[in-house]
Structures are given as C-alpha cells and as structure tokens.
Amino acid sequence: MFVMDVAKALKEAHVDYAIAGGYAVALHGAVRGTLELDIVLRLERENFLAGAAALGRLHLEPRLPATAEEVFSFRREYLKNRGLRQWDLVHPDDPTKRVDIVLTSDLADVAVEHVRVEGVDLPIVSKDDLIAMKKESGRPQDLEDARALERLAK
C-alpha cells in the first residue's frame, strides 16, 4: 500500500511529518476517497530536504520544475505570488502515486495523533487542526471534509 511505503521511507529518513488531507480525514473515520497523500512537514530546512529525498527514493518527482531547496527557500514567495499551497511529487509511471507536501502549515503548529494500520504507526494531523486546515482552505471538498469531521466529533 502506497501510504505505508511513504510512511516507512519518511520514518527511515527520520523526517518529522504527519498525514493531512483526505487520507487523514479517512483515518479519523469519515468516508473519503482520495488519490493524493497530503503530508505536513516540520518546516525546517534539514527536515524538508530529508523528506523530499526520502520521497525521491520512492521515485516520486516534482511536478513543479523546482528543487526541494528552492521550494523551501522561496516557500513564502510561492505562497504569496503564485498561490502554491502544496508541492506535488508524483511517480512518472504511476500517477496514482502522488504526495503533496503542504506548504501552508508547519508541523510545529499542529497537534498530531497516531493510528496503527497493518502494524504501522501513522502520524496524522489531529481532528481539530485538520478541521481548521480544511476550513482555511475554503475549497468545496475541504469544507465538506470539515463538516464530516465535525459530525464525528458530536
């Protein structure tokens, strides 16, 4: 399973991360289908570069013609001037293998919960912080995800 491959690669590289997006919504218990795996990293240079390198070892390549160093160094500019909210990496032979590194959130600013899937510990953004991230995005699917997570909290 792709999410397990990513989790293993990031753990072996000692990357501080948590799963966000649709996968996190599903891991919290809401029905959600998604192809891409969104992750939030601790936005420190070494951690960001280690995460990109680990994903590269899974043959994931950036869709944006920019290196991890460039994305990290110019993240705020990309957010402000280009509206780039995530850095997408995809397998060239299998577009279903895709990881989006969220650029709008720092792992240092969110709470993390852990779930075990097939014996693997998966760090995920807490339900409350995931709801906040989804609402901040404002996209229709994200707002629906936030409502689904809020219904679970009741």
Q: What is the DSSP string of 82-123?
A: H---EEEEEETTEEEEEEEEESS--GGGS-EEEEEETTEEEE
Number of structural domains (the chain) is 1
Kindly state whether residue 154 falls inside one of the protein's structural domains: no
The pTM score is 0.92
Kindly state whether residue 113 falls inside one of the protein's structural domains: yes
Kindly state whether residue 14 falls inside one of the protein's structural domains: yes
Domain span including residue 101: 2-142
Question: Which CATH number goes with the domain that contains 50?
Answer: 3.30.460.40
Q: pLDDT 10s digit of each residue in the chain, 154 long?
A: 899 999 999 999 999 999 999 899 999 988 777 778 999 999 999 999 999 999 999 999 999 889 999 999 999 998 888 888 899 999 999 999 999 999 999 999 999 999 998 888 999 999 999 999 999 888 888 889 999 999 986 6
> Would you tell me how many other CB atoms lie within 10 Å of the CB of residue 12?
10
HSE, CB side, 13 Å, CA atoms: give it for residue 31: 0
